[in-house]
Every structure is written in structure tokens, then in C-alpha cells.
Structure 1
Amino acid sequence: MRYLKWSVLGTLALLIFAFLHYTLPQTDIVRIVGTENRRMDLGENSWFWAAPDVGTGSGTSRDIFFINAVYPDGSTMEYRNEDTGWGWPPYFKMDSSSTNTEAKELQSTTAAPKWVAVTHYGWRNELFTIFPNAISLRQVESPDVRIIPWVSIVILTLLAGLVAMVWRMLAQFRERMIEPAVIEAQEAFDDLDRRADRARAGVGGWFRRVFGRK
């Protein structure tokens, strides 16, 4: 049972970590090299795509903006640029067209690079055709600029406080309600066991008195 307990807790912790890692904002320092508008047919991976842009129709096939970028070490990255609207995650992004225009303005070459901080959520996975969604763009001075993830820090701090509060409430509930009930039940069982012992002893004595006479 101990192995089962830790397996369940480990799996739950892994799922929570994956959820937070996918949902919380992250920032990359990149050089934007191009933008495009691509027609995408969404299938089994539709969970990893946002809802259709605010004001447009729904469907599994639609045009999506993409931002092509290069990291300082030369590796590449592609971001999708979709509205999140009022859905999940709650970024309330409704300006994908403006973000696309901004990305075009921030394009640069290797000879004259413009470094851009791209705030996004999500993962890049080529096997399942998954792209992180760019939330905002802003130009920075160099690829070595330090970005402090204040939003993630605040959210994780509040979440840790909430977990601690719930844990404390459960501990108090166990201490005040469950443990006394368990002790009371145990005492009741012990009392029944003592009564059963006395009853057995009484029956045994009666048999000895009745059948033990000559």
C-alpha cells in the first residue's frame, strides 16, 4: 500500500507540474526573422490550440498567425499567435492581429539584430505539431537581459499559500473530528469486547455449576 500511495501522489504531482509549466507565462529572448499566416487543420491536438480569434467563426480549420524566431545560439522557434479570448488560459488576449503587425515591425537580420522578449505559454512539440502561444512582445537591449518572472512568482506564491491553508484546515479537521471519532469507536469496540469476555466467562461458570455437580 505504501508503494501505491507514493505512486498516486507522484503521478498527481507530475500532472500538476505539467499543468503549471504549460499554463504559466514564460519569456524567451529571440530575434524575429519572419511572420506568416498559415491554414491549419486541427485534429487530435486541438486541445493545445486556443479558441478561434474573437469575432470569427468556429471550426477545426482556420488561419493562424505564426512568428518565426531564432535564439541567440542559433536554434529556431515558432510561436503561434492566437487570441485566447475569455477562455483558458485566462490571458484575455484579443489582439493577435496587432501582435502580428508588431512582430513584423520587430523583424531583424543577423547583421543588425533586434532582440525581442516574447512572453508565451505552452510547449513546442514537433511530433504532435504543438506551438507555444505568444502573448506579448517587447524589444530589449541585448540577449543577455535578465527577465524576472514576477507573474509566475506571484501565482506560485499564492498557490503555495492556498495549499498550505487547505493542508492546515484538513489537519485541524482530522484532529478535531476524525481522530476523536476513531478513538470513540475504538473505545466502543473495546467495551463490546470486554462485555463479550464477561458474557463468555458467565456462561462458562454456569455450565460448570450445572454440569459440574455429581
Structure 2
Amino acid sequence: MRTMIKYFFILVVLSLHIVLVGSVNYAFPSYEETVVTGMEAKRVDKDGPISKSNPADGPTRDAYFIFTENPTTKEIMVYRNEDTRWGLPFYFKFNSADVQAKAQAYANDKQLVQVKYYGWRINMLSEFRNIVSIKPLTEADEVSRPIFSYILYVLLLLTFFISVQFIRGWFDSEK
């Protein structure tokens, strides 16, 4: 019975750490080298893009979409470009129209760019990564790395191992 309780606590700690790693992966910025190929603006509400099958039933807003292509793999990716304003995650982004204008200029020049984004692309849920910023790259430039995310991953791994050792020591010391 004690063994089952010990493994239950380890499973709870593992689940907590998986949620925390997922949260860091979603909310913290990532970077990608890409080429902008096009863009689009849609009127959306809380249910998604407004259409005949989804009429507006509440407040609406503009959502910008930026289409990109990876220069080496030719894989396409669609990004959302919306303001985060004062909401979560705290990027305090109020310049989505400016980012859209920059993306248009880079698309006209077929310029290699670095996209800073957060979020996940989930096709089934029509969920898109949200662009935070976009800047031009030259051939000599390297894409930035999410160093702070890497540090948090290492800290979460350490806290997981320390938690497991604490639980094992707690249950093994009472024998």
C-alpha cells in the first residue's frame, strides 16, 4: 500500500511538471527563420472568423494572419498577429498593425526574417502561433535562441528530480 501511495505522489509531481513545462513552452517566446509569403486580415469574434456559418454574436475584432515558408524545408506556417494588450501572456503588444505592415514590406522583397512568437499551431482547433515581432535577417545573422526557456526547463528538471528523491526518502525512511 505504501508503495502505491509513493508512486501516486511521484505521478502527481510528474503531472505538475508536465503542465509547467507545457506552460513555459506555450507562453515564452520562440524564434524561427522564415520568409513571409503573404498575409490576410479577418474579422473575428469569440467563436472565430465571421462567416455565413458563424455570424457575429458579440464584440468583434480584426485578426491579422501572416503566411510564411521555411527557406530550407519549404514547409509553410500560418501565424496569427493580434495584440495581447494587458492580457496573458504579458507581452503588452499593441502594435499588430505595424507588425503587419513590416511583414508586407518583407513579403514584397522576399526578405529572410526572424519571427518571434509564442503559442502552438494546432490544426484541429484552428489555433495559431501569435507573432510578437518580426525583423529582417541577413545571411550572416543567426536566429536567436530562447535562453530563458532553456534555463527554466533545466530548473524544472532539477525540481522534478529533487521532488522524486524527497518522496522516495520520505517513504523509505519510515520502514
TM-score by length of 2: 0.73
Residue 10 of structure 1 and its aligned partner are, at CA, apart by 1.0
Q: Unpaired runs of 5+ in structure 1? A: 46-58, 172-214
- Deviation of residue 150 (structure 1)? 4.2
Which position in structure 2 is the counterpart of 1:88? 88
Tell me if the contact between 1:80 and 1:131 (Cα under 8 Å) persists in the aligned partners: yes
SS class of match (1:36): strand
Contact 1:30 1:143 in 2 (8 A): no
Q: Secondary structure at the match of 2:139?
A: coil
* Structure with the larger helix share: 1
Q: Larger % of strand: which?
A: 2
The answer to whether the 8 A contact 2:33-2:143 is kept is: no
Aligned residues of 1:115 and 1:143 also touching (Cα < 8 A)? no
The total of aligned residue pairs comes to 146
Whether contact under 8 Å (2:42, 2:63) holds in the other structure is yes
Please name the residue that 1:42 is paired with. 46
Give the C-alpha shift of residue 3 in structure 1.
1.8
The whole-number CA distance in structure 1 between the counterparts of 2:145 and 2:8 is: 39
* 1:140 corresponds to: 137
Distance 1:2 1:88, change over 3 A: same
Q: 1:104 maps to what in 2?
A: 104
Amino acid at match of 1:106: Y
Structure 2 residues without counterparts, runs of 5 or longer: 49-57, 167-175
Higher Cα radius of gyration: 1
> Shift of residue 144 of structure 1?
7.6
Percent of paired sites with the same residue: 29
Match of 2:6 among 2, 15, 18: 2
Q: CA–CA distance in 1 between the matches of 2:140 and 2:70?
A: 9
Structure 2 CA distance for aligned equivalents of residues 7 and 86 of structure 1: 35
8 Å CA contact 1:29–1:143 kept in 2: the answer is no
TM-score w.r.t. length of structure 1: 0.60
